[in-house]
């Protein structure tokens, strides 16, 4: 609780930020609707709407008035003397500096091209037609380069860092590479060891047919138990699952269903549910628009989704609780399998083509693949037209196999189509943060594992709310990690976790 | 085709209008989402979003720059010498004058209160709790009075006319009353005659149980045959059906389903489909934002919905085509009834409580009831707290019975909750326009009735596109009606139509 009196320039700043966030929330709805319910014929109009609103939002985010309000607050010793307000102003300043470096025309062009490129990507993926997407990819890469040039390359860094900073404040590509390289080496060794000496668990329990409606009902029940407030959110179906926590009281998740392998949708739902719990836990009711009600970084956001998806969802404890519920919804489809069978089946580590369907261990190799390609694209070492070859070649190196087509190769992800470049590494940062936090959680939340066997996740959620969600952006990611866990981020907890879970599933 | 060269001030005007329309289309999506998929928890944020965008839109609709552009075009003899452009400028001027009379604060307050009042109305209707809605109704009436005061009362008119003009340009309450009064008298006499001397048709064919999914599939097939482009539109479910043609290529309809009386949803769908066909027929692809791509008036809009719902949908010819289709979707539920049974069952005229479920004839009495009450509210002859009594008393006079509760009385309509006052009379104007147009259509579209028996509605739609849709607001409603039908609007065609359809159903 802050007890200082708020001067008018701070009130005005907060009001301005809240309006900007409200505009942003409308853009969020436009994006959500585009993926869920918009008819195809509305695509051009949607691009026009998004472009117009992005322009208006950019105007406000870069206005001289906002600059003056920030400066007035920064010059107010009572405000800067309050640690919470000082953190708020630090992040407001960072956003303002980032926003003012981008000209309005570029922002509009990115929004409009992104919307059209995304439509093109959808069709290209459907038809396995990379050529149809190639000009759009080239366009988005060009826009990303122009954006990076506007931001400017940090001292001793590279253009990619400028983009990365938007998603993971302060992170550097070279530093990430320094963590990813040993992590990759140890993961490869681990996977080779499993292949050479282990017996892969049977995936039969995952190959039962479950109707979409039953999967949806099961997913909703799991979300409810996790503590996701469905009166302040939704769950819909899209080609690429996402979470959009666009407004106070309105956090929307999506997943996708296949008749077989119901765990894809389940873990998609738990993953987005983890993001959604973070969004619902941010203090938006009172502070919407302030960095104090915003997420720290995508890495931390991802740590929340990965924790629920993997650390909770793939545990034996989870299946002790969830299997009877699945049995009820799935009308006996899983009768032939035990809790141990389920647990083993969802703890594998082997090569596969689709990132979002990859197991918890090899997922990180998928991320490294994309990280390498987008860095090369940014540097100009690779052209858009070379992406399929580069993808397949690097895939062969990492996984020992080649995707059979581009749908299962470089066309599988939506990200690049709307200009999300520099985003992928945050997924693996998320895994690393989740693993390190989880070790502390097991120490600090009494009896968590036995509570999980009863579907009681309230203490876990309360811990996450208290330690992470409630702070918004008050602390930087690395700082918060060290505060909570007592150590800087490292690869060991993730590797320990993977070994502990997956080796027994392979009989090792 | 206009061949004049467009000067820069006209291009700038058109670009400005298009941006305003695009902002409006975003507001349209916010409204659609609020009714369809928004979680309850998002209501406050939605009110904030709507209010903010309404404020921005109002700012642009009232800007000095827009005023200067209009003035420059009005002073350009080449533009005003072109009849189409002159009509465009006439309507742009009218909108600008209307918009500049409303202060931004009032516009924001209307948007925000309307959003909250609508939420309150929803709950109040659910709980049959008028007291919970009363303060919101009082608030919306107060806002409507303030709005009417800003517009100013036309010479020799009343405050209500100022509101009416927004929906039905140039119409006057006293003139409407002058048509409604004899129409009401002749309708009452007709209904009494039916009750005294006729035999009501059996409604058994409407009381079969039909699952929602089958009704939805049937509705979609009918919409498709009508010519509604489902790649540029949708059909969803809401408490109160509506059509939102908010953007080029994006026209969304809603309906509601009950297990019984599938014709409620069918005719709701055909009604909104008629609105949707008008929206899809306006030349928005090239002229979005210009009055030349906007609908003339709500009365003309309603004439399109009523034509498809009643003149097409309740005809024997329609059922010759549609009954086999319904039979296919409904799996034999209608087997016991013939085409004649269906036709008779949907051509009744008897008192009922719910306007949107009322038959084609008594519907107009429902409209007259609301028209009287809202005029009295505007004049201050009635307070919000008196509405239930006034409603029930007047209902008794018109229908000879009293609603059993407010849910089926004054709480049934969404309109007043978001400030739509002066809107109801346009429904009956729609019936009157539809009837008069239909007589001309039967003269001018060869073999229409036999085409309808084969589900061939393309010639009808082409006629509507050519005579009405394509013109946008080039002509005023009365002018267009007289151009097309050769006569000013009168009550005779509607009364002739009702007598011709309904008397045989009653064996008269």
Strand B233-237 relative to strand A250-255, pairing: unpaired
Could B46 and A230 be called an inter-chain contact, meaning their C-beta atoms sit closer than 8 Å? Answer: no
Cβ neighbors of B343 (< 8 A, separation 6 or more) are B314, B315, B316, B319, B505
Q: Report the run of H or E that residue B12 belongs to, with start and end.
A: helix B8-36
Task: Reduce the DSSP state of residue B384 to 3 states and report it.
Answer: helix
Helix (H, G, I), strand (E, B) or coil at A412: coil
Q: How far apart are the first and last CA of chain B?
A: 51
- Tokens for B61, please give them: 């609709």
DSSP, res A499: H
Q: What is the pLDDT of residue B65?
A: 97
Neighbours of A3 (CB within 10 A): 5
User: Which residues on chain A are in Cβ contact (under 8 Å) with B56?
Assistant: 56
In 3D space, the residue among A278, A303, A293, A298 whose CA is nearest the CA of residue A168 turns out to be A298
Per-residue pLDDT of chain A (508 residues), as tens digits, is: 445 678 999 999 999 999 999 999 999 999 999 999 999 999 999 999 999 999 899 899 999 999 999 999 999 999 999 999 999 999 999 999 988 998 878 988 998 999 899 999 999 999 999 999 999 999 999 999 999 999 998 888 999 999 999 999 888 898 889 888 889 889 888 988 999 999 999 999 999 999 999 999 999 999 999 999 999 999 999 988 999 998 999 999 999 998 888 999 999 999 999 999 999 999 999 999 999 999 999 999 999 999 999 999 999 999 999 999 999 999 999 999 999 999 999 999 998 999 988 899 999 999 999 999 999 999 999 999 999 999 999 898 888 889 999 999 999 999 999 899 999 999 999 999 999 999 999 999 999 999 999 999 999 999 999 999 999 999 999 899 999 999 988 899 999 999 999 999 999 9
Here the ipTM equals 0.87
Supply the pLDDT for residue B401: 86
CB-based contact (8 Å) between A116 and chain B? no
Look up residue B367 and give its two tokens.
């409209």
The reported pTM is 0.88
Phi and psi at residue B363, to the nearest 5°: -50, -40
- Look at B41 and A229 and tell me if their CB atoms are within 8 Å: yes
Structure tokens at A375: 């860095």
pLDDT of residue B1: 44
| pLDDT for res B107 | 83
Residue A445, Cβ neighbours under 10 Å: how many? 16
CA distances from B213 to A295, B256, B379 (A): 41, 12, 46
Which residues are CB-contacts of A29 (< 8 A; sequence separation ≥ 6)?
A246, A247, B29, B30, B33, B49
Measure the CA–CA gap between A464 and A462, rounded to whole angstroms.
Answer: 5
pLDDT digits 0-9 by tens, B408-439: 999 999 999 989 999 999 999 999 999 999 99
Q: DSSP labels for B193-254?
A: HHHHH--PPP-GGGSS---HHHHHHHHHHHHHHHT--GGGEEEEE-SS--EEEEETTEEEEE
Q: Which of A272, A279, A309, A374 is catalytic?
A: A272
Interface check B238 vs A, CB under 8 A = no
Q: Number of C-alpha atoms within 13 angstroms, CB side, residue B444?
A: 16
Question: Given B40, B230, B252, which is nearest A231 (Cβ)?
Answer: B40
The reply to whether residue B45 touches residue A234, judged by beta carbons under 8 angstroms, is: no
Q: Say if A60 is an interface residue toward chain B (CB within 8 Å).
A: no
Contact of B44 with chain A, judged by CB distance below 8 Å, is answered with yes
Q: What is the mean pLDDT of residues B315-332?
A: 97
Q: CA-nearest residue of chain A to B40?
A: A231
The full set of domains in chain B, from first to last, is 8-158 (no CATH), 173-505 (1.10.1370.30)
- Decide if B248 and A46 are in contact by the 8 Å CB cutoff: no
- Judge contact between B66 and B92, C-beta under 8 A: no
Q: Is A272 a catalytic residue?
A: yes
What pLDDT digit, counting tens, does each position of B104-161 carry? 789 889 989 998 999 999 999 999 999 999 999 999 999 999 999 999 988 888 999 9
Q: Is A65 on the interface with B (CB under 8 A)?
A: no
Using one digit for the tens of pLDDT, what is the confidence trace for B195-253? 999 999 999 999 999 999 999 999 999 999 999 999 999 999 998 899 999 899 999 99
- Asked if A40's CB is within 8 angstroms of B233's CB, the reply is no
Tell me whether residues B230 and A30 touch, CB distance under 8 A: no
Q: What is the pLDDT of residue A490?
A: 87
Give the pLDDT confidence of B378-394 residue by residue, as tens digits: 999 999 999 999 999 98
> Scanning every residue of chain B, which has its alpha carbon at the shortest distance from the alpha carbon of A286?
B45
Chain centroid to CA A94? 21
Who among B41, B230, B288 is closest to A250 (CB)?
B41
Distance to chain A for B182, nearest Cα, Å: 45
Chain B residue closest to A16 (CA)?
B52
pLDDT digits (tens, 9 = 90+) for B271-295: 999 999 999 999 999 999 999 999 9
Q: Which residues of A touch B280 (CB under 8 A)?
A: none
Query: Is the distance from CB of B309 to CB of B274 less than 8 angstroms?
Result: yes
Task: Please tell me the distance in Å from B233's CA to the nearest CA on chain A.
Answer: 6
């Amino acid at each position: 609780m802050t007890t200082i009196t708020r001067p008018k320039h701070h009130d005005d700043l907060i009001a301005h930020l809240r309006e900007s966030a409200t505009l942003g929330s409308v853009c969020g709805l436009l994006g959500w609707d585009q993926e869920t319910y918009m008819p195809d014929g509305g695509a051009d109009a949607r691009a026009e709407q998004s472009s117009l609103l992005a322009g208006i939002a950019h105007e406000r985010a870069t206005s001289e008035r906002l600059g003056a309000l920030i400066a007035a607050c920064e010059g107010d010793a009572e405000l800067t003397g309050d640690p919470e307000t000082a953190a708020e102003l630090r992040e407001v300043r960072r956003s303002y500096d980032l926003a003012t470096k981008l000209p309005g025309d570029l922002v509009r062009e990115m929004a409009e091209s992104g919307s059209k490129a995304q439509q093109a990507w959808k069709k290209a993926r459907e038809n396995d037609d990379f050529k149809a997407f190639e000009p759009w990819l080239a366009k988005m890469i060009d826009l990303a380069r122009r954006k990076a040039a506007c931001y400017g390359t940090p001292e001793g860094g590279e253009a990619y860092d400028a983009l990365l900073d938007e998603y993971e404040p302060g992170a550097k590509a070279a530093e990430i590479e320094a963590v990813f390289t040993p992590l990759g080496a140890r993961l490869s060794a681990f996977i080779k060891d499993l292949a050479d000496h282990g017996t892969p668990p049977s995936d039969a329990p995952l190959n039962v047919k479950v109707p979409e409606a039953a999967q949806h009902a099961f997913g909703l029940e799991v979300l409810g138990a996790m503590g996701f407030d469905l009166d302040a959110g939704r769950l819909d179906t899209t080609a690429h699952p996402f979470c959009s926590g666009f407004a106070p009281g309105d956090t929307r998740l999506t997943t996708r269903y296949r008749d077989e392998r119901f765990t894809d949708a389940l873990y998609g739902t738990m993953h987005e549910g983890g993001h959604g719990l973070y969004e619902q836990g941010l203090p938006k009711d009172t502070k919407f628009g302030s960095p104090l009600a915003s997420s720290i970084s995508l890495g931390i956001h991802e740590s929340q989704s990965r924790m629920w998806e993997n650390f909770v969802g793939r545990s034996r404890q989870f299946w002790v609780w969830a299997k009877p519920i699945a049995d009820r919804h799935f009308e006996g489809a899983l009768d032939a399998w035990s809790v141990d069978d389920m647990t083993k089946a969802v703890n594998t580590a082997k090569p596969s083509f689709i990132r979002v369907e990859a197991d918890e261990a090899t997922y990180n190799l998928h991320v490294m693949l994309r990280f390498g390609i987008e860095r090369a694209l940014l540097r100009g070492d690779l052209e858009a037209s070379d992406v399929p070859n580069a993808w397949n070649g690097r895939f062969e190196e990492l996984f020992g196999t080649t995707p059979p087509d581009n749908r299962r190769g470089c066309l599988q992800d939506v990200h690049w189509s709307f200009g999300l470049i520099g985003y992928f590494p945050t997924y693996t940062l998320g895994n690393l943060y989740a693993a390190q936090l989880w070790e502390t959680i097991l120490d600090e939340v009494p009896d968590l594992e036995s509570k999980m066997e009863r579907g009681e996740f309230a203490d876990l959620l309360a811990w996450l709310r208290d330690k992470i969600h409630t702070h918004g952006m008050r602390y930087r990611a690395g700082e918060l990690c060290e505060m909570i866990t007592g150590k800087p981020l490292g690869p060991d907890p993730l590797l320990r976790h993977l070994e502990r879970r997956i080796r027994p599933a392979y009989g090792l």
